[in-house]
A and B are shown apart, each in its own frame.
Chain A
Amino acid sequence: MDQRLHNGRAMRRTLWFWVGLVGSCWLPAFALAQSSTETTPTATSTSGGIGVQLKSVGDESYTSQALRGTPLGKTQCDLKVNLVFVLTNLAVGSRSPKYIEIYKGTACNTTEGKDGLGNDDCERIKFINRTQSSTYEMLDIPIEDVCNSEGDVTLWFLPVDTLGTNANITPYGMYDLPLDTIAPNPPANVKGGDGETQIRITWERTDSNISRNWLIWDPKPVSGVITTDGGSAGSAAVTDDDGGTDDGIVDTSCGSPLLTPGEAIDVDKLPKGLSRKQAVGNVESAELSGSDINSPRAAVAVVSQDLAGNFSMLSNVTCVNVVDTSGFWDEYKVNGGDADGGCACSLPGSLTAGTRHSAGGLLAAFALFGLVIVRMRRKRLS
């Protein structure tokens, strides 16, 4: 064999090896990228000289990527879990600080930050007596102490001799707690479709951190109920011509007294008469079937749930209609089409004997001809 040709093949093998290797490396990288799309601070912070580690959230270890992959939020706040922290690098000895104060806010390790004067937002949420002989301290903070805040919270761990002093604290510990208790915006422009087995509901997403959407429907819609009022939190259904702050669409033909646009609804404890179905992901459409709805008509609204588990207010209400449908196959039959499902090559009587023979004969000839050619080629090469 020619040397250059041999080298070319070796090069190709090497190339394919590297292509495969690089390709396989992309898979875990891709998976990591998928799981890291949200704010995911590390479990440990060493700013200020004192190490702070969030050890666990309730019964779950915070070192697991599954938990750190999403901000803490409604799910944990509702469960009233404890946040367990571990502090390290603390000073030891009889002259070391006797207490550790825990503040939340901005720059709470400075006099100006924690004095409660001016525009500072620092608030002491807890203090503990520490063991002066240990560089290590474990403490827990009830999550409801920080759940009232909006967005991420920075916690400050300040070793002090005297509680409430205003001196600058060095060293200190700091931890940015990813917290999301803000309800996402409700989906906009929800529209219902019609059909028999696949009734599509579409909407426009209004937030990027949505994990799922809940379709909520009332199979006994009524007329005379406004179905759009703009979706602003806390507002009641309006009855003026254009709904005041709504999108200008007023539909009184199909609504539900149980579904009020812009109002909160407990998705886990729906009022009697309502049903729900989830659409996973930050999608903009979902489908219901006639059997889901079990009624000729239903009023439908959508609630979004974000990655932290917070629910949006109810979207506008729309209607879906369950109607018998026909499609291509029905039309084909109506127009006289006589083909049936299954394989036309094996149905009894579906092919004439001559046609079947010609098909089989063609295939046999095809195979035979190929065999002859291959044999001829092998003979020539040998």
Chain B
Amino acid sequence: MTRIGFGSLLLLAASAAWSGAAHAQSDASTIPAARKISSPERFVIELRGGPYQPDLGGNGAFDRFFGGDSGPLLGLQISYIAYRVPDIAYVTFGGGFSWVNFSGAAVAVNGSGDVTEETSLVLLPLSAVASLRIDALPRKLGLPFIFAGKIGWQWAFWDTDTGAKNDASGWAVGLLYGAQLALDLDSFDSAAARSLDEEWGINHSYLFFEVYRFSPTSASLPVGGTGWVLGLGFNF
């Protein structure tokens, strides 16, 4: 225990024996003023999920087999806070991965229609993303809104099967960008947020809605498209 802490305990014990008035005066003169304490803020992690359908560049194969299937796409993104303007904004660099599976009934080649065998398309996008997050509103004004813009590059592994037969697999690569509106949870219960920081090292937490677009290059299987996700994020 530090000397300050030990001294405080001694003072507290001594003051208990004094009269009420003398006790109050003693506390006021010896206990140091409170100051804001927070753990280091280095990373951002986001758990995300939402519907997704690739546009396939106008090719009707997706709609033919997976037309009613929207995933969901589930993912995780983790970023390093590279630059921070305190209580204003910060820049992050990081990466993420997600997963989505589409499946539907295959068809008989003889024209007799759908069969019970399934055909599927699995996407496993991996991304490298930079983002700018502006959190001045909740930090300065107490308004619980955070805005973020993201840009990066995505490598989406895709794999398509029919029954037990692997038809093809490969990588679709291209630009990934998006915009995010987040609801800062700290603003609703600052005491709980502070407790979360002290006990778990989580500086901030937020719910978010993000719209993004993946634009693969022309040589890729066109599994890009516009999608949206809801998620939960933590700064720690």
Contact = CB atoms under 8 A, between A and B. Distances in A.
A18 to B, nearest CB: 13
Contact of B163 (A2, A15, A325): A325
A329 B170 contact: no
Contact of A377 (B82, B116, B171): B82
Nearest to B2: A3
Nearest to B115: A194
Interface string A273-311: 000000000000001010000000000000000000000
A84 B129 CA distance: 69
Given A332-B61, A340-B170, A343-B170, A196 B218 contact: no
A335 B59 contact: yes
B167 A329 contact: yes
Given A11-B199, A197-B163, A327 B119 contact: yes
A370 B39 contact: no
B201 A323 contact: no
Interface centre among B110, B115, B201, B221 (most CB of A within 10 A): B115
Interface stretch (A225-233, A248-256, A361-369): A361-369
B115 A193 contact: yes
Contact of A344 (B128, B172, B201): B172
A362 B167 contact: no
B61 A200 contact: no
A5 interface: yes
A324 interface: yes
Interface in B149-176: 152-153, 155, 160-165, 167-173, 175
Contact of B155 (A194, A195, A345, A377): A345
A8 B64 contact: no
Interface residues of A, number: 55
A342 B161 CA distance: 15
A195 B106 contact: yes
Contact of B167 (A328, A339, A370): A328
A198 B128 contact: no
Interface string B114-128: 011111110000001
Contacts of B173: 343-345, 359
B20 interface: no
A339 B221 contact: yes
A241 interface: no
Contacts of A200: 116-117
Interface string A1-30: 011110011011001000000000000000
B219 A339 contact: yes
A366 B153 contact: yes
Contact of B220 (A9, A199, A339, A369): A339
A77 to B, nearest CB: 38
Which A-B residue pairs are the 10 nearest by beta carbons? A195-B117, A327-B119, A193-B116, A327-B162, A198-B163, A350-B219, A329-B167, A197-B163, A344-B220, A341-B168
Interface of A: 2-5, 8-9, 11-12, 15, 193-200, 287, 289, 323-332, 334-337, 339-345, 347, 350-352, 355, 359, 362-363, 366, 369-370, 373-374, 376-377
17 contacts: A3-B5, A4-B37, A4-B198, A15-B199, A195-B115, A196-B162, A198-B117, A323-B109, A325-B115, A327-B119, A329-B119, A331-B60, A339-B172, A343-B170, A344-B171, A366-B130, A376-B83
Given A194-B116, A195-B106, A328-B160, 7 more contacts: A9-B201, A193-B116, A198-B118, A327-B167, A328-B162, A331-B61, A373-B93
